[in-house]
Amino acid sequence: MSKHIETHFAVTQLHARYASAVDANDWDAWVDCFIDDCVYRIQPRENFERGFPLATLSFESKGMLKDRAYGIKETLFHDPYYQRHIVGAPLIHSVTDECIKCEANYVVIRTKLSELSTVYNAGRYIDEIVHTEAGLKLKSRQCIYDSEMIPNSIIYPI
C-alpha cells in the first residue's frame, strides 16, 4: 500500500509542478517536465475517441517543446492573459518498472487584464510518466479537451 501512496504522491507533485510552470509562464520549467523523447498533444475529445490523428497542437520531442517555448517568449504577439490550472487527483491505471499510465481531469481559467475570468479549456490529461534520475517526467501528455470550440487560438500549453 505505501508504494502506491508514494507513486500517487509523486504523480500529484509532477502535475503540480507542471501547472505551476505554465501558470507562472515559466516555459523552461514546463519543458523540464518532459523527457527528451516525448510527445505532447492537444486534441479535441471527438477526434481522440474516434481514433482520428488530427490534433490542435502536436509536438514529438523536447526540442519541439523548446521551440514552442521560444516562440511564446520571443515571437508570438497576442493579447496578454493569465492562466490558472485546476488539476484533479490522478487516476493511476498501471505502474510498471518502465512507465506509469494515468489520467487527471483539468480546467484552465483564463484571465485577460480588463475582463472577467472565464473557463478557457476543460478536459483530461492522459499521461505516460517515467522515472529519471531527476524524478518523474512526462514521456507523453495528451490534453484531450471536451469542447469542439476553442476561443481564438491556443498560445500557451494546456
- Annotated domain spans of the chain: 2-145
In this prediction the pTM is 0.94
Q: Does domain 2-145 have CATH number 1.20.1290.10?
A: no
pLDDT tens per residue across span 103-157: 999 999 999 989 999 999 999 999 999 999 999 999 999 999 998 778 777 889 9
Q: What is the pLDDT of residue 2?
A: 66
* Amino acid (one-letter) located at 10: A
Rounded CA separation 98/50 (Å)? 28
Contact 30, 14 (CB under 8 A): no
In which band, very low, low, confident or very high, does the pLDDT at 1 lie, cut at 50, 70 and 90? Answer: low
Average pLDDT over residues 12-36: 98
